Amino acid sequence: MPLLPEPSYTPPFWARNPHIHTIVEGKFRSIPRPDWTRQRIELPDGDFLDVDRLVSGHDRLCIVLHGLEGSTERPYMRTLAHALKNAGWDVAAVNFRGCSGETNRMARSYHSGATKDVVSVLDQMAPSYSTVAAVGFSLGGNVLLKHMGETGDANRVDAAVAISVPCDLRAGAMQLATRANWIYMWNFLRSLRTKIEIKAVMFPELVSMEGYDELRTFKDFDDAYTAPLHGFRDAEHYWSACSSLGYLHAIRRPTLILNALDDPFLPDACYPRELARSSDTISLEIPRFGGHVGFRDADGSTWSDTRVISFLETALS
């Protein structure tokens, strides 16, 4: 399943600016809320996940994972859920720990390598279906690819798609630290601050707000919070241990990586071209346009949703 040729994706004219495309799709697109049914999964460590489900009696399930500081309320999660339901899939859209509107119970939260939580979702839901697929966006894409590689032939996911995925976490963090991306970095740190403030009240012995206003990059944040709260030495250790790039060679199920060439979040290291050329299982598709989790089509639909469904149908046929 090789490096695929550039697909015939033609966005509207305004979406050819990657920053406009990324911001409009992420912040200003209004999508009807799916008729979710929420299911809470109790985790082995005493925490919980809230999973929003669309159950229509199908025998196929697609698990969907959101990006950093996202939730099932993000436009890209809603559009894909609608598309999957129409294509004959039940949907399980996962809110990572602390992202469902209710603070999780523990000092730890979610991160780019938190694959054990994906296993817990599969343990609960996979036995009820004959076919299971999964889609991950951005951070969720990294989590998904890492899980696919960790489990290899034992994986219960039959096919997977990762969209706008920073599979090299260090390179992605450095990319977002550049001057051109300051607005995204500022927005992430502002959103993450809210969660850290809550945890500082819940766990004052473990979490402190001291110095938060001096943070400027993901290295700063991951050194101060992600690494110590999740068992890593520092940001470099976290990035090295959790980057899905190091697990791609072990993936044994059909998997599509869909990263736009103009994605402002992704440096060249996040386009594993040589690996895709030699892999029997990984397909890499690099549209010229798309921004970060954008892919608005000229008719107002989302091109990546169509591509996800097409890939899953082909891979599972």
Q: What CA–CA distance (Å, rounded) separates 13 from 298? A: 8
CATH domain 13-168+244-316 topology: Rossmann fold (3.40.50)
- What confidence category does residue 2 fall into, taking pLDDT thresholds of 50, 70 and 90? low
**Most distant CA pair in the chain: distance in Å?**
54
State the pTM of this model: 0.96
Q: Which pLDDT tens digit goes with each residue over 230-288?
A: 999 999 999 999 999 999 999 999 999 999 999 999 999 999 999 999 999 999 999 99
State the residue for tokens 């809603």.
78
Return the pLDDT at 28. 87
Q: What CA–CA distance (Å, rounded) separates 103 from 48? A: 10
- What confidence category does residue 139 fall into, taking pLDDT thresholds of 50, 70 and 90? very high
Q: How high does pLDDT run on average in the chain?
A: 96
Contact partners, residue 21, CB within 8 Å, separation at least 6? 11, 14, 15, 262, 289, 290, 291, 294, 296
Return the pLDDT at 185. 97
Mean pLDDT of 102-124: 98
Domain boundaries, the chain: 13-168+244-316, 179-242
Return the pLDDT at 284. 96
Find out whether 207 and 107 touch, Cβ atoms under 8 Å.
yes
DSSP state of 6: P
Single-letter amino acid, residue 245: L
Q: Which pLDDT tens digit goes with each residue over 160-210?
A: 999 999 999 999 999 999 999 999 999 999 999 999 999 999 999 999 999
3-state percent breakdown (helix, strand, coil) of the chain, nearest 5: 45, 15, 40
Return the pLDDT at 27. 86
Q: Which pLDDT tens digit goes with each residue over 4-24?
A: 666 778 899 999 999 999 999
Return the pLDDT at 7. 73
Return the pLDDT at 3. 64
Is beta strand 90-95 parallel, antiparallel or unpaired with respect to 131-137? Answer: unpaired
For 106-142, b/e burial (b = at least 16 CB within 10 A) is: bbbbbbbbbbebbbbbbeebbeebebbbbbbbbbbbb
Which residues participate in catalysis according to the annotation? 138, 263, 292
Residue 266 corresponds to which tokens in the numbers above?
Answer: 């992704």
CA distance to 79, 156, 207, per residue, from 147 (Å):
24, 10, 28
